[in-house]
Amino acid sequence: MEQSPSIVIITDTAGNIEYVNPKFTQITGYTLEEVIGNNPRFLKSGETSREEYKRLWETITSGCEWRGVFHNKKKNGELYWESAFISPVKDPDGAITHFLAVTEDITERKRTEEALRKAREELEAKVEHQMLQRNPYGLSFREFTILHLVAAGRSDREIGIELGISYLTARKHLENIRTKMNASSRTEASVRAVREKLLD
């Protein structure tokens, strides 16, 4: 545990810290001497709900393992993300004697995911803006994508799988496309075949 690349925390059955490894100090800034005997709640950033902590405690005190993600706060006030695995430690008779938490700092991964999400949203917004200038029905980026999938002969379910949405959501998009196409007074030969398919 001393050399572990992950944070390791051991608490008693009341949740009070008995041990943290060097990685804990490296990431949070707190030493073992500062945290021993304390509940890890001092790491809370306030972003995780009381209900989630209640579910966590009920899970591990019932003898089960818990996995989740926390947005916690370091000693210097800096926020960080960590993926956590918490499990009860039992004696030979099956009684819980301690709780073991193994966590991993995933802050950089979260930042990368957020940057990619924003970049994707910005790209979609730009593409949608360009499309709105060119398509006569005022279709959104997603609707235009669905339109192409329909033209390719994909079913509602296939469209849902392709876009990572439920087939019911895909069907609602198709209904919205149909409404926009019916409301439009203009007709383009390039989408006439698709329109007839949607109106069948």
Structure confidence by residue, pLDDT tens digits, 68-114: 999 999 999 999 999 999 999 999 999 999 999 999 999 998 888 88
The mean pLDDT value for 32-53 works out to 90
Q: Which of 67-71, 140-144, 182-186 has the highest mean pLDDT?
A: 67-71
Q: Are residue 99 and residue 125 in the same domain, yes or no? A: no
Q: Which of 45-49, 132-136, 170-174 has the highest mean pLDDT?
A: 45-49
Distance, CA of 145 to CA of 148 (rounded, Å) = 5
Distance, CA of 87 to CA of 193 (rounded, Å) = 58
Q: What is the pLDDT at residue 29?
A: 95
Q: What is the pLDDT at residue 187?
A: 47
Q: Are residue 119 and residue 183 in the same domain, yes or no? A: yes
Q: Taking 60 as the threshold, does the pLDDT of residue 161 lie above it?
A: yes
Report the CATH number at residue 187.
3.40.50.2300
Residue 1 counted as domain residue:
no
Q: What is the pLDDT at residue 64?
A: 95
Q: What is the pLDDT at residue 58?
A: 94
Report the CATH number at residue 67.
3.30.450.20
Distance, CA of 45 to CA of 72 (rounded, Å) = 5
Q: Taking 70 as the threshold, does the pLDDT of residue 66 lie above it?
A: yes
Token readout for 72 is: 């916690």
Band (119; pLDDT cuts 50, 70, 90): confident
Residue 101's domain comprises 7-105
Q: Are residue 53 and residue 138 in the same domain, yes or no? A: no
| Domain final position from 75, 105, 135 | 105
Band (168; pLDDT cuts 50, 70, 90): confident
The mean pLDDT value for 109-129 works out to 80
- Nearest one of 156, 198, 196, 163 to 177, comparing CA atoms: 198
Band (133; pLDDT cuts 50, 70, 90): low
Band (173; pLDDT cuts 50, 70, 90): confident
Domains held by the chain: number: 2
| Domain final position from 84, 105, 126 | 105
Of 29-38, 49-58, 140-149, 190-199, least confident by mean pLDDT is: 190-199
